[in-house]
Amino acid sequence: MKETSAITPNQKFEGHTDTVLGIIHPPDLQRIITCSLDGSLRVWDLESGKQIEEDWRDGESAVKTIALSPDGKKVVCGSLDGAVRLWDIDTCKVIAKWTGHTRIVGSVCWSRDGRRVLSGSSDGTARQWDVESGETVLELMETGHAQVWAVAYLPDMTLIATGGMDGPSMSTIDGKKEYSIKIWDAKTGMLVATLNGHKHPVCCLAWTADGTALISGSYDSSIRKWDTTKWKQTLVLEHTLPVSAIAISPNGRILASASFDKTARLWNLDNGQPISSPLQHSERVNYVSFSADGKLLATGCWDKNAYTWDVATIVKEAGLDELLSDVQVS
């Protein structure tokens, strides 16, 4: 890694009245949408940093997580009231509200074909929803997690990964607790594999686009890469405090991570090395999200603001232009 001077955000988005927990990038590359514990979703102009629509609200419940549909037309979010809500981006209205979870929904994920949504909840279950009917098509009741904090589809939609705070039957190695990642068959709900290694709850998961690796982030301050052909750990990266979120760039070459240590970090996934000095924030960082072209990173912070960072410039200044190649933008 080349020595770099302090990196500053290229835009700041102010207006939420509580911490920002999720960010998505519509495909037009002109806006971001954020969600917050203040109970709102907000749309922002990337260039000016100004909010460009009224708040999106449905009730008073805080919004914990957000995900954009593959076609860029719908948004799904999970809330503290246990509901999963589906929003239409054009009308800014809720078009469906799915109930079944009994506690906080802290993670949601779309299937690649846009026909299914996966949700994980502090009630210890994960659910797979049919988007058209709103019905639960698969419910993982006995996950082994007391709380499910993270869910993720394998890109080909055959497998589901879950992580979180494990239950009383959690495994121990040499007397130390091991927090697991569970891999499930997406059709049958049968357990396929259990990945052990994290020492504290697993809070975020992301598959690489080719499905050959799974990345996990944990409150043990580590990020781990798992070979999904052998279900073995191949790489460990470290923050100094708990990891709160991860994201993989669209071309699969760059990993972004967020942490309670008040930084977001960019990593070269080819070799596990940091790309630049950390992206400093005033408070802990809750979320990271890449734009569709991989050239912009958005971060959500405990200070109630969101920020964007020029990944293209950061990578070029590090002499790693090749990490920006092969991005396909629809």
Task: Tell me what the pLDDT averaged over the chain comes to.
Answer: 94
Task: Encode pLDDT of 117-145 as tens digits.
Answer: 999 999 999 999 999 999 999 999 999 99
Distance, in Å, from the CA atom of 84 to the CA atom of 106, rounded to the nearest integer, reads 10
- The yes-or-no verdict on residue 2 having pLDDT over 80 is no
Confidence at residue 120, expressed as pLDDT on a 0 to 100 scale: 98
Tell me the mean pLDDT in the region 39-50: 97
Confidence at residue 178, expressed as pLDDT on a 0 to 100 scale: 74
Confidence at residue 327, expressed as pLDDT on a 0 to 100 scale: 57
The two beta strands, 74-79 and 63-68, are antiparallel
In the chain the domains, ranked by start, together with CATH numbers, are: 21-324 (2.130.10.10)
Contact 102, 116 (CB under 8 A): no
3-state SS assignment for residue 150: strand
Q: Residue 170, CB half-sphere, CA atoms under 13 Å: how many? A: 25
Confidence at residue 330, expressed as pLDDT on a 0 to 100 scale: 41
Distance, in Å, from the CA atom of 229 to the CA atom of 248, rounded to the nearest integer, reads 19
Task: Encode pLDDT of 72-118 as tens digits.
Answer: 999 999 999 999 999 999 999 999 999 999 999 999 999 999 999 99
CA 311 to chain centre: 18
- Counting DSSP H helices and E strands in the chain, the numbers are 1, 30
Contacts of residue 91, Cβ cutoff 8 Å, sequence gap at least 6: none
- The yes-or-no verdict on residue 171 having pLDDT over 70 is no
Contacts of residue 113, Cβ cutoff 8 Å, sequence gap at least 6: 70, 157
Distance, in Å, from the CA atom of 195 to the CA atom of 142, rounded to the nearest integer, reads 16
Task: Encode pLDDT of 5-17 as tens digits.
Answer: 689 999 999 999 9
3-state SS assignment for residue 252: coil
- The yes-or-no verdict on residue 55 having pLDDT over 50 is yes
